[in-house]
Amino acid sequence: MSTERALFIPVILGTPRQGRMSEHAARFVLAELGKREGVETELIDVRELPLSARDEGGAIKDEGFSRSVSRADALVIVTPEYNHGYPGMLKHALDTNLKEYVHKAVGVCGVSAGGFGGTRVIENLLPVLRELGLVTVFWDLNFSSVGKAFDQTTGALLDESYVKRADKFLGELVWMAKTLRHGRENVSI
């Protein structure tokens, strides 16, 4: 298997909302991912993507975002749950690419103020990811009661159990990323 090249797995922070707690979760996952040997990562913040709101899809593609997804072997999406759904800006950003996603792995981290850890937003996002051509892993990372999981001022992790949960989630994602890279490069349809 050709795993000599480092895997590139960016983390997409899926909300531009002011005061977002998902940023703490995203930076935590980014740090955990960065500790893994053979993995490179970066944060993609939808707030920073210069996407027009006057059109949709590939017509407003951001070259930097497209380049990062093209290079990626897998994606981590960190999304809050807003009224049981995903942020409009996340969908707006995801829809600007298509070919960049094909046969790449994706894992989703759900974030919620309450006790369900974004399970409903993850379920809602899965069919979108499938249609984009991504392959979802069967581990999620659910940040329940996010206000207690992180220090709201510094973003420091307060609940160490998330280290172990992230390890399982990222382990599965890295396995899928390696497997799909092998498939993309060597297995023909």
Among 98, 113, 126, 128, binds other proteins (CB under 8 A): 98
Choice between 168 and 184, CB closer to other proteins = 184
Among 35, 67, 99, 148, binds other proteins (CB under 8 A): 99
Helix-helix angle 161-186:22-34, to 10 degrees: 60
Taking contact as CB under 8 A, which single stretch among the options 34-42, 84-92, 105-113, 178-186 is the one that binds other proteins?
Answer: 178-186
Residue written as token pair 């510094």: 154
Nearest in space to 153 (alpha carbons), one of 28, 27, 24:
24
1 binds other proteins (CB under 8 A): no
Taking the chain, what is the end-to-end CA distance rounded to the nearest angstrom? 18
Geometric angle at alpha carbon 135, from 170 and 183, rounded to 5° = 95
171 counts as binding other proteins under rule CB under 8 A: no
Residues that bind other proteins (CB under 8 A): 2, 5, 57-58, 70-71, 73, 98-100, 102-103, 133, 181, 183-189
